[in-house]
């Protein structure tokens, strides 16, 4: 059983929680409920470790457990989810700062972390689409003065 992760932007925490109520707990991407939301599906890329390691590469620092500051906002069920978390603005801004000149090297680095490279390093360009998607979402959030959120479910 895998864990699903959708990342999206919203005006504030209250708007993100309302979205969960409107979507009956999610998912956010492909809900088909006619709710317009700027969201991406990053499958097994969770925010603290896997996305956090991308953030560490962009910042040029070592990964630490609290590098991405997450706050649990909402839970459908404590044991089985879904859950909604907000990502700190420093993370949003770091992701938004990714340039076209950086993406290939970031993809190569990120594709070598153990959370993604279970059977050995990924091809250098395999993580390009995910990096480009999350960077673009972060830029749109930053430019609109909005925050980034992560919805996850078992």
Q: Any idea where the domains of the chain sit in the sequence? A: 4-153
Beta strand pairing call for 147-153 and 4-10: antiparallel
Cα–Cα distance for residue pair 102/115, rounded to 1 Å? 21
At 61-117, the pLDDT tens digits run 999 999 999 999 999 877 777 999 999 999 999 999 999 999 999 999 999 999 999
- Please give the full DSSP string across 4-34, using - where no structure is assigned: EEEEEEESSHHHHHHHHHHTTT--STT--SS
pLDDT at 77: 74
Q: Which CATH architecture has domain 4-153?
A: 3-Layer(aba) Sandwich (3.40)
Residues 6+ apart with CB under 8 A from 46: 3, 5, 150, 152
> In the predicted model, is pLDDT for residue 29 greater than 70?
yes
Give the C-alpha separation, 54 to 124, whole Å: 14
DSSP letter at 127 equals T
Looking at residue 95, what is its pLDDT?
Answer: 99
Compute the C-alpha angle 146/39/76, nearest 5°: 90
Angle at 68 between CA 20 and CA 15, to 5 degrees: 25
Per-residue pLDDT for 137 more than 70? yes
pLDDT above 80: residue 55: yes
For residue 101, the model assigns a pLDDT of: 96
Residue 35: the pLDDT is 60
DSSP string, 41-72: E-TT--TTTHHHHHHHHHHTS---TTSS-EEE
């Amino acid at each position: 059983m895998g864990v699903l992760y959708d990342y999206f932007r919203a005006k504030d925490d209250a708007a993100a929680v309302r979205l969960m109520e409107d979507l009956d707990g999610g998912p956010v991407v492909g809900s088909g409920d006619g709710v317009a939301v700027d969201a991406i599906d990053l499958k097994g890329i969770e925010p603290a470790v896997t996305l956090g390691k991308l953030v560490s590469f962009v910042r040029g620092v070592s990964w630490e457990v609290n590098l991405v500051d997450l706050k649990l906002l909402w839970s459908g069920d404590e044991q089985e989810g879904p859950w909604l978390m907000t990502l700190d603005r420093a993370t949003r801004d770091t992701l938004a700062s990714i340039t076209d000149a950086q993406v290939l090297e970031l993809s190569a680095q990120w594709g070598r972390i153990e959370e993604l490279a279970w059977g050995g390093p990924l091809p250098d360009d395999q993580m390009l689409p995910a990096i480009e998607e999350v960077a673009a979402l972060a830029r749109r959030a930053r430019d609109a003065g909005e925050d980034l959120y992560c919805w996850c479910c078992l």
